[in-house]
Amino acid sequence: MAVLDEWGVDAEARVVLLGLPDDTKPRSLAKFRRGTALPDDERVMVRIGHLLSINQSLGFTFPHNPAMAKYWVSTPNRRFGDRTPLSVMLDEGLAGLESVARHLDNSEEW
């Protein structure tokens, strides 16, 4: 939740990024912030892994300015067809998370 806080992601987008059930109320996310464990669901755990990987890569990319992570995820990027990395992750789901992570890891073929 702290990573999504740093990126300035709203509650509705958090539900989508984390792959929580569609009926998850955005206000129910507060319990996760207070320490309740996220659902023990493989899909959720895979998404969390990608989000943490993206955040770690952003930390390596901008080691002296952590605020750049929020800027990077919310700024249109040529690599993603002038969409923001956040919109790629939201619109494309797991494939979008993987695409953003690969881009940051420089592990995709150009």
Share of the chain above pLDDT 90, in %: 75
The CA distance from 12 to 16, in Å, is 7
**Residue 106 confidence (pLDDT):** 82
The CA distance from 1 to 29, in Å, is 9
Q: Which two tokens stand for residue 98?
A: 């993987």
Q: Which two tokens stand for residue 75?
A: 């700024």
The CA distance from 92 to 95, in Å, is 6
pLDDT for 10-27, tens place per residue?
999 999 999 998 888 888
Q: Quote the pTM value.
A: 0.90
Which has the higher per-residue pLDDT, 82 or 22? 82
Q: What is the mean pLDDT of the chain?
A: 92
Q: Which two tokens stand for residue 87?
A: 């919109």
* Terminal Cα-to-Cα distance of the chain (whole angstroms): 32
